[in-house]
Amino acid sequence: MSLGDKHKYFTDPIHGLVSVPKGLVLKLVDHSYVQRLRRIRQLGLGYLVFPGSEHSRFSHAIGSMGLMQRVINSLKEKNTTITRSEHEAVLIGILLHDIGHGPFSHTLEQTLISDFHHEMMTLALMRRLNEEFDGQLSLAIDILSGQYKKQFLHQLISSQLDMDRLDYLKRDSIYSGVLEGSIGIDRIIKTMRVFQGNVVIENKGIYAIENYITARRLMYMQVYQHKTVLSADKLLQSILQRAIDLMADGQEIFIPSPALKYFIIERPTAKKGLSTRVISNYIQLDDNDLLMSIKCWEREKDPILSDLCNRFLTRRFFRTTFLKSNQTQPNISEYIQKTLIALKKLGLPANEKTVNYYLFSDSIVNEAYRYDTESIWVMEDEKTAVEFSRAADTKNITALTQSVVKPYIIHLKEVS
Amino acid sequence: MSLGDKHKYFTDPIHGLVSVPKGLVLKLVDHSYVQRLRRIRQLGLGYLVFPGSEHSRFSHAIGSMGLMQRVINSLKEKNTTITRSEHEAVLIGILLHDIGHGPFSHTLEQTLISDFHHEMMTLALMRRLNEEFDGQLSLAIDILSGQYKKQFLHQLISSQLDMDRLDYLKRDSIYSGVLEGSIGIDRIIKTMRVFQGNVVIENKGIYAIENYITARRLMYMQVYQHKTVLSADKLLQSILQRAIDLMADGQEIFIPSPALKYFIIERPTAKKGLSTRVISNYIQLDDNDLLMSIKCWEREKDPILSDLCNRFLTRRFFRTTFLKSNQTQPNISEYIQKTLIALKKLGLPANEKTVNYYLFSDSIVNEAYRYDTESIWVMEDEKTAVEFSRAADTKNITALTQSVVKPYIIHLKEVS
Amino acid sequence: MSLGDKHKYFTDPIHGLVSVPKGLVLKLVDHSYVQRLRRIRQLGLGYLVFPGSEHSRFSHAIGSMGLMQRVINSLKEKNTTITRSEHEAVLIGILLHDIGHGPFSHTLEQTLISDFHHEMMTLALMRRLNEEFDGQLSLAIDILSGQYKKQFLHQLISSQLDMDRLDYLKRDSIYSGVLEGSIGIDRIIKTMRVFQGNVVIENKGIYAIENYITARRLMYMQVYQHKTVLSADKLLQSILQRAIDLMADGQEIFIPSPALKYFIIERPTAKKGLSTRVISNYIQLDDNDLLMSIKCWEREKDPILSDLCNRFLTRRFFRTTFLKSNQTQPNISEYIQKTLIALKKLGLPANEKTVNYYLFSDSIVNEAYRYDTESIWVMEDEKTAVEFSRAADTKNITALTQSVVKPYIIHLKEVS
Amino acid sequence: MSLGDKHKYFTDPIHGLVSVPKGLVLKLVDHSYVQRLRRIRQLGLGYLVFPGSEHSRFSHAIGSMGLMQRVINSLKEKNTTITRSEHEAVLIGILLHDIGHGPFSHTLEQTLISDFHHEMMTLALMRRLNEEFDGQLSLAIDILSGQYKKQFLHQLISSQLDMDRLDYLKRDSIYSGVLEGSIGIDRIIKTMRVFQGNVVIENKGIYAIENYITARRLMYMQVYQHKTVLSADKLLQSILQRAIDLMADGQEIFIPSPALKYFIIERPTAKKGLSTRVISNYIQLDDNDLLMSIKCWEREKDPILSDLCNRFLTRRFFRTTFLKSNQTQPNISEYIQKTLIALKKLGLPANEKTVNYYLFSDSIVNEAYRYDTESIWVMEDEKTAVEFSRAADTKNITALTQSVVKPYIIHLKEVS
């Protein structure tokens, strides 16, 4: 056997060479469930605003696994006991933590399946894989779902300071070109340790944490909740909703994707869990099914569907208007009136039903950091850990724990 | 009017903020022909080997335009006369230089349309746009096709040292994580000047050029011609070819994409130019049509098509074997025999026709730098320009002008 | 004349190629007053904690000038009128804004000359240069001292968001390796404009500003006021003070630097301005004079001076203890007692006078951002500018305007 | 004991956090011999041309140690046996490999001590340290001097592909801002393995090696042998030589540095080894002694010494003229005549003796890669290693093994 044969290296632009253990972990990487993530954009429609951010959930999964390797090695150097099986399980956990995501990540979750969250699908798919691989994923499932005794392993996958977030913040910041989101991963990872069973940050890491929280806030404001991204999301939801409505109404349209057709016609719910048929169709779904459909639907005779798709393909998005800080309620009826006039001018059916595809009222919530069970804890000295927003000299962070709600209207550009 | 309203800024991870003039240029950026480039991966199937390199031709187009802005400003500072119209035209030229590309960039060019090169399509689409925009693209077309008197403008778009190459080398290097391809764009651009009507490099830029040529070679060896990329290309070509053969043979399969269906059934040629129908279908085509089809075809009953698609979706690629340097001809008949045996074991039809989908003999040519009409010229002193490989102290570059041909076989992993 | 002859390019690791106009500006760069900055470390003793940060005031001056070039070009593109003379003057202003700094930047300012601030020396030296260059620096002096009508030019050199700060934050962050200090200069510069005669930030730049302020705070906490840097500063001050005291006491020591000897013996004051003799000696002084002296003084027979110098050369610094947040006054007399005991154990004269060289009580003030006449203003819409901390959604920044005072004790490691 | 107490982290801009084991290694880092490296610029006078490259031998030593940590961990993962003592010894070896360097690294080696190479001093100082630390450095000395059985440990410190070179190439490239010297350290280190007792590179690392060799060549051409650096070197040598000649001639000058005074007056030789007195004075010497002296000597009455020092302090360097490729011998007598005329015009003594301080004939040799006992070996397959320039497809590297000699003249600017 070759000496270099225990790992395969993936070349990652963010973290350099990522070593993936051959065997079970590499088999999972190559599995179609994980490979499917290559066809789901990490930032949903963010690439339409930040042209560089075309990266997929797959590269994020590989990157998160790379960070997990580093933090595990660092914790071991600090004498934390992590067995070989735990090490493998936590790698699997982070690799698979996102396999339940659907097309364009979060955008269509609710439109495709009612009462659905992608975490449900992640767990369902992991259980399927566990069967396929004869129970070898049991420990990974326990860790991911928080059932395993060593809580710190769960926290490394899922908490307010996990490998998932460290990877996506850095990755999204670099790929989007928004430098304000840059964080010092190296310092955060090297100042992590396990204290009383939980992940904590050593005192010398507190400024890296402050930077991480601020960067998170700025990425939300500048990228994730960018007003054009918000409006592109609504446009995509409108397109899918219009297709659903047309089919429900008996107005047949061509749906190139069989899996998408299933969801449009059957309109499944997750209320009573996920059926085998839902799962089987879901794993066939990715960004391509939507983009393919939009290209076809641009040529459909329904003027609304056609218009919406053409807007998508030529970047004629709706406009987002945030309410002024002293305004709590938008004047919706005025917006409706103006939208009706605009629709008429555009030669589209000017009725209340159509307005639903062209006018939206919603709000964003910005929580850079929350004080809850998954908070970040820092060591004040060798014997005391304290929750971060309650540590000394963090007035600005304390200010950030108060979540800010910003209502907005999305409307036709013609509706000023 | 707002003072900042003359440009729109695009945030690019490689070059920072790129300023795009509002008006014609921005209208072209938002045109569906250019927006389509968002759905074509710059490195074709390279993302299957380098997970970070999922960037599109669109971000490359924006980036190249950003470099064009910089070099034009730099040349103006050196007193080169460039009129406002020339400035706009050269931006349009570089923006549109790639709009003729098809799905996965180069991979399927020949399979979709016989006797075709994407440059033909680029020109055809520019002519269409010129009509749509009332002749405003005439100068850009002249510059791109080398008809305009100021040759240096053409050279900035298309030569061995143009903004296209500067952008893609840097971009592909960073997105793939292969640092060996990194180049010093700033120095190259700032040492460019116009001498006797042509772009030349000032003496102090020669090492940046040497680095550029070497980096180009290394990107070919490590990325563009990576053996797994070569084999993924063949797999994709096999898939499309199998679909074509089945349909030609009357074995109907479901083709989700109407545009792709056109090419599969009609099998157009470019020998006598590009018909309106070819063009109309072509602009509907991008990576999604293929990926959507592959997902559908994995479930087709034809065992070969199904197997090929499944391989694609689970990364079970063929293997690439380069011939030893003293070997000039591969022992093809031996490979065929072994492939037949392997096909049988895999439960696939073990006949010569099937072998064509599973065995390939081809070769790569590496030309980091050529001595031809589009060569790079450097100033030896204030009055003399010399072709780069003939300049002093570049033995290593001279060695690189001899193109290296490397034959290889692509075959089933089971065929060692 | 060669076309490329109008500028000289400096290669800068932070900003790439910096173009310096030949003529007056380049002559000033090569002048001994500016070249002297090559021998003064930008971060004072910071390099003893962050080994990478060995950069000088000179590279900072060149870098700041590079940023000034960029912001001037950007403002011109936005139709702000800036004449050729104003352009040159503002380059000169930023180039020279730090020439008044002494050895190790801020550390010894007060010990060398009483009642002194380096800005006084900067102005004195600029006036000398103005004489030497026949009045060509008059406009630069007016701009720097805020006398010139176009206030925005002054603000680009000196305000809470000037080219000086943009350069040093980015530079110090990268050289020290403390990524938390990284800022998005490109976005800040490109969203600057002149509004009613003042520099303001366009609305789309507000998150870059928030990041800038937070980064500034973090650089203060992590680097500029790092506890080991604070203690190294005190050690260096002690060394110089001991040398002064010995000489005052008639205990002759060898002082290798004639200029330093002048300051040690004459002990000048700046109360009545700076005499010609003070200036002439000051421009001979840089880091070398101190380091050279410390090496010599390590071998002096005075046990205190020798001990202090040996500590400096082998990194045996004092220890810094910050007072707990609920403690307002340190128990100084207890510290003095313990220091006396420790000195005795170390074989040093254990009296109150010696304690002054080994025990210090001081405090740091952290003001990431102040609300004052040099505040940052942002555009809320096309017609209204608002001070940044009063803009919407900046609770965390508002929190930072309350300056935090942190008292600390610096003491022998043996004094726990 | 705290869990994090086994290592101290140094923050390095090039490699991130570098972990240094507490105990012997950290004690050596803080030793005055190693701390002295903080006062010796890594690139000698290179900072006078590349303002960013003001970094010291100390940061290079820390960085090289960081790389050593990484390669040792990587080799261990590949099952190479490296004991705890060997690990520590190889860290010590790389940390100390440069402690024998004198002021401005290589520039003055021959002028200070005849027949001297800094490696002699490195070994002498390591022996001193070995005594001071009771023999704990014996293994490190054996490894560094090639006496230890495991040759690969020596090769990691000193060969054509050692941690020393990997660090300085990357560091010098980044600090100087010359991107052409950038290399892919991660890939090189991760493809290193031990084969038959020697360090070799796995096949997949060959392009990283090709890039490394080319980058090395480019750093020599662009930075290390930059014509202004060559001329600054000669100027510094002239200054020291003039001081020596004056003192030898009985014309007393003030020498602020006692250690430098020793070398100027005693003019020691290394022919018979290094005496205790030589060593004791040498370790007192660094860049400061020279810079301090130059500042003093600018005011000496000897017109030659004063002129040379003033040139140094105001960047009025000599000019470097490379001979044309067809020219093998410069016309020295013509240069001498012109220099005499120029000296006269400058008001300096116009005689042959003076010419020696103002005119130099020398040559540079560029050997990016040599075929010798310390060559780089790569694996062709699992069983065969081959020397790199003899591996397939490296014509350009083979071309580089022919060393290029470039003669040049350094002369007054007035001598065209």
The string of pLDDT tens digits covering residues B108-125 is 988 999 999 999 999 999
B196 touches chain D (CB under 8 A): no
Residue that wins the pLDDT comparison between D401 and B268: B268
Amino acid (one-letter) located at C260: L
At residue C2, does pLDDT exceed 80? Answer: no
Structure tokens at D49: 């041309």
Q: Measure the CA–CA gap between B224 and A6, rounded to whole angstroms.
A: 26
* Rounded CA separation B19/B8 (Å): 6
Cβ-count burial of D319 within 10 angstroms (0-12 exposed, 13-18 middle, 19+ buried)?
middle
Question: Do the chains contact at A47 and B38, CB–CB below 8 Å?
Answer: yes
Q: Phi and psi at residue B408, in whole multiples of 5°?
A: -150, 160
**pLDDT recorded at residue D392:** 66
H or E element, residue A218? helix A206-219
CB contacts of D211 in chain B (<8 Å) are 179-180, 214-215, 218
Q: Are A100 and A119 in contact (CB under 8 A)?
A: yes
CA distance D369 to D396: 11
Contact C54, C69 (CB under 8 A): no
pLDDT of residue B392 exceeding 90, the answer is no
Nearest to C52 by CA among D98, D168, D11: D11
Residue D16, classed as helix, strand or coil, is strand
Q: Which residue of C has its CA nearest to B73?
A: C73
The answer to whether the beta carbons of residues A374 and A389 sit under 8 Å apart is no
Residue B74: count other Cβ atoms within 10 Å of its Cβ.
Answer: 18
- The string of pLDDT tens digits covering residues B175-184 is 999 988 888 9
The answer to whether the Cα torsion of A15, A19, A23, A26 is positive or negative is positive
Look at B17 and C186 and tell me if their CB atoms are within 8 Å: yes
Name the minimum distance, in Å, from the CA of D55 to any CA of chain A. 23
Of A4, A190, A382, the CB nearest to D2: A382
* Domains of chain C listed by start with CATH number: 3-224+372-405 (1.10.3210.10)
Chain D residues inside the 8 Å CB shell of A69: none
Per-residue pLDDT for D68 more than 70?
yes
In this complex, the residue of B218, B222, B399 whose CB is nearest that of residue D395 is B399
Specify the pLDDT at position C186.
Answer: 93
- The answer to whether the CB atoms of D180 and B392 lie below 8 A apart is no
In terms of DSSP H, where are the helices of D145-286? 151-157, 163-176, 185-190, 206-219, 227-248, 258-266, 276-282
Nearest to A193 among D4, D78, D382 (CB): D4
A293 in reach of chain B (CB within 8 A): no
Which string of DSSP letters, residue by residue, matches D251-270?
A: -----S-HHHHHHHHH--B-
CB contact under 8 Å between D284 and C295, yes or no, is yes
CA C406 to chain A, closest CA, distance in angstroms equals 10
Residue D386 has a pLDDT of 92
Q: How far apart are CA C39 and CA C37, in angstroms?
A: 5
* Contact across the interface for D396 and B214, Cβ inside 8 Å: yes
Q: Report d(CA C57, CA C64) in Å as an integer.
A: 10
Which residues from chain B sit within 8 angstroms of residue D187, using beta carbons?
Answer: 179-180
* pLDDT 10s digits, D16-32: 999 999 999 999 999 99
* The C192-195 sheet, strands edge to edge: C192-195, C198-201, C377-379, C385-387
Asked if residue A361 lies in contact with residue A333, where contact means CB atoms within 8 angstroms, the answer is no
> What's the mean per-residue pLDDT of chain D?
93
For residue C38, which amino acid is it?
R
- Does C9 contact chain B (CB < 8 Å)? yes
Q: Does A187 touch chain D (CB under 8 A)?
A: yes
The helix/strand/coil state of C190 is: helix
pLDDT score, position D349? 96
Q: Please, which chains are in contact with A (at least 3 CB pairs closer than 8 A)? A: B, C, D
Q: In a mutagenesis test of the A interface, which of C180, C365, C369 is the best target, namely the one with the most A β-carbons within 10 Å?
A: C180
- Residue scoring higher pLDDT (B31 or A182): B31
Kindly indicate the confidence band of residue B4, based on its pLDDT and cuts at 50, 70 and 90: very low
**DSSP summary character for residue A269:** B
Determine contact, residues C51/C42, Cβ cutoff 8 Å.
Answer: no
Position A348 pLDDT exceeds 70: yes
Measuring CA to CA, which residue among A63, A98, A89 is closest to residue A141? A89
For residues B195-205, give the mean pLDDT. Answer: 94
Interchain contact, C78 vs B193, CB within 8 Å: no
Q: Is B94's pLDDT higher than 80?
A: yes
Beta pairing partners, A405: A365
- Identity of the residue in B12, B174, B177 whose CB atom sits nearest the CB atom of A16: B177
* A207 touches C: beta carbon within 8 Å: yes
The residue type at B81? T
Residue C207 to chain B, least CA–CA distance (Å) = 14
| Beta carbons of C182 and A174 less than 8 angstroms apart | no
Position D261 pLDDT exceeds 60: yes
Size of interface B-D (CB pairs under 8 A): 76
Angle in degrees, 0-180, between the axes of helices B258-266 and B227-248, rounded to the nearest 10 = 70
- How confident is the model over D289-316, as pLDDT tens digits? 999 999 999 999 999 999 999 999 999 9
> pLDDT at position C396, please?
81
Residues contacting residue A81 through CB under 8 Å, at least 6 positions apart: none
Tokens encoding B34: 């250019």
Residue B5: per-residue pLDDT? 58
pLDDT at position D24 is 97
Q: Which of C81, C108, C64, C121 minimizes the C-alpha distance to C282?
A: C121
Q: In a mutagenesis test of the A interface, which of D1, D2, D8, D75 is the best target, namely the one with the most A β-carbons within 10 Å?
A: D2
A contacts of D3 (beta carbons < 8 Å): 78-80, 193
Please judge whether D17 and A187 are an interchain contact, meaning their C-beta atoms are less than 8 angstroms apart: yes
Residue recorded with tokens 């290179």: D46
Please check whether residue D210 touches B, CB under 8 A: yes
Q: Residues of A numbered 366-385 whose beta carbons fall under 8 angstroms of chain D's beta carbons: which are they? A: 382
User: Which DSSP symbol is given to A256?
Assistant: S
Q: Do B396 and D400 touch (CB under 8 A)?
A: yes
Q: What is the pLDDT of residues D28-51, one digit of tens each?
A: 999 999 999 999 999 999 999 999
Residue B2 has pLDDT above 50, yes or no: no
Whether pLDDT at D122 is above 70: yes
- Asked if B393's CB is within 8 angstroms of D396's CB, the reply is no
**Chain D CB within 8 Å of residue A22 CB:** no
Q: What is the pLDDT of residue B177?
A: 95
| Per-residue pLDDT tens digits for A105-160 | 888 988 999 999 999 999 999 999 999 999 999 999 999 999 999 999 999 999 99
Q: Does residue A165 surpass a pLDDT of 80?
A: yes
Q: Report pLDDT digits (tens) over C284-297.
A: 999 999 999 999 99
- Report CB contact under 8 Å: B56, A52: no
Average pLDDT, chain A: 94
What mean pLDDT is predicted for residues D323-331?
A: 76
| Stated pTM of the model | 0.95
Between chains, do C52 and D58 touch, taking CB under 8 Å as contact?
no
CB contact under 8 A, B211 and D180: yes
Does position B63 have pLDDT exceeding 60, yes or no?
yes
Buried b (16+ CB within 10 A) or exposed e, D206-234: bbbbbbbbbbbbbbbbbbbbbbbbbbbbb
Cβ contact, residue pair C193, B4, below 8 Å: yes
Find which of B321-325, D200-204, D253-257 is predicted with most confidence, using mean pLDDT. Answer: D253-257
D96 pLDDT above the threshold of 70: yes
For C63-168, list the strands marked E by DSSP.
Answer: none
> Are the Cβ atoms of A180 and C207 closer than 8 angstroms?
yes
Q: A6 vs D202: CB contact, 8 Å cut-off? A: no
Tell which B residues from 76 to 105 touch C, by Cβ distance under 8 Å: 77-80
Q: Is the pLDDT of residue A1 over 50?
A: no
User: Which pLDDT belongs to residue A7?
Assistant: 87
Q: How far is C41 from chain D (nearest CA, A)?
A: 10
- pLDDT number for residue D3: 36
pLDDT (tens digit per residue) in D195-209: 999 999 999 899 999
Contact B3 C187 (CB under 8 A): no
pLDDT band at C21 (very low <50, low <70, confident <90, very high): very high
What's the pLDDT score for residue C164?
97
User: With an 8 Å Cβ cutoff, are B182 and D179 in contact?
Assistant: yes
Are B193 and C9 a contacting pair at CB < 8 A? no
DSSP E strand boundaries for D49-152: none
- Nearest chain B residue to C189 by CA distance is B17
